[in-house]
Amino acid sequence: MATTAADQINGALRLIGVLAEAEAPSAAMAQDALTALNQMIDSWNTERLSVFSTIDQVFNWPSSTRIRTLGPTGDFVGQRPVQLDDATYFRDASTNVSYGIKMINQEQYNNIAVKTVTSTYPQVLWYNATYPDIEIYIYPVPSRVLEFHFVSVQKLDEPANLDTVLAFPPGYLRAFRYNLACELAPEYGVEPSAQVRRIAMYSKRDLKRINNPDDVMAMPAAMIINRPRFNIYSGNF
């Protein structure tokens, strides 16, 4: 049976005793709860282990280019990543070989003395989480066009209205309902029961355990292409 946003909201309000069995909330109460549900989901989107899927956005990085932007209005038009995943990689279409790229932080990127050095392939990537588009810097600057695969979490869908059907993998609807109950309780001056708090905590913990990418089997070493790594401090390989 399909579950709507209204079903989740009504269930959460019953868990904290605001609604009686078969009682419906007022239109204003339901709309406020929908806003709270969407804010909660938006917050979960910033937690890597609360999100069940990743998205692979593919763009051709031009040769002799050091910086690109990615987002709804960027050089690469797509979904703005909350955080780029270490699984991000690029492919050389001329050889059909894929290479990983190392993520570095801003301090490490700033310590690169000459950022315009060119090479066949880049070695490191730093991204600045600007809004609405992120800025992506790579080094060294590639001398050929490369097919970049930007991997990030696929954001959880926020229901547009109370009638929106929620389509999520097993475990999410229970976690939503009990955690939403805890989110809504302060607005009504009530304290969720110990059981509600416990189920909210355990149901979300179970999702994070299932979504943990470190639980997957490691790739055999023979399948990994080894190549020299560029030392951003010494300026050589």
Which tokens sit at 89? 């990689």
The confidence score (pLDDT) of residue 237 equals: 45
Q: What is the mean pLDDT of residues 67-83?
A: 97
Residue ranges and CATH numbers for the domains of the chain are 5-50+157-213 (1.10.3230.20), 54-153 (no CATH)
Q: For the segment 85-134, what is each residue's pLDDT rounded down to a tens digit?
A: 999 999 999 999 999 999 999 999 999 999 999 999 999 999 999 999 99
The reported pLDDT for the residue numbered 216 is 47
Assess whether pLDDT exceeds 70 at residue 24: yes
H helices present in 61-144, as ranges: 106-110
Residue ranges of the alpha helices (H) in 117-164? none
What's the full length of the chain, in residues?
237
Q: What is the mean pLDDT of the chain?
A: 91
Each residue of 43-73: pLDDT tens digit? Answer: 999 998 999 999 999 999 999 999 999 999 9
Which of the four pLDDT bands, split at 50, 70 and 90, describes residue 30?
very high
In this structure, what are the phi and psi dihedrals at residue 146, rounded to the nearest 5 degrees? Answer: -125, 145
pLDDT value at position 65? 98
pLDDT band for position 144 (cuts 50, 70, 90): very high
pLDDT band at 22 (very low <50, low <70, confident <90, very high): confident
Query: How far is residue 165's CA from residue 8's CA, in Å, rounded to a whole number?
Result: 10
Q: 237 or 213: whose pLDDT is higher?
A: 213
Distance CA 197, CA 79 (A): 34
pLDDT at res. 231: 54
Q: Is 21 exposed, middle or buried (0-12, 13-18, 19+ CB in 10 A)?
A: exposed
Crossing angle of the two packed helices 172-184 and 27-44, in degrees rounded to 10: 120
* Cβ neighbours around 64 below 10 Å, total: 11
- Coil/strand/helix, residue 27: helix
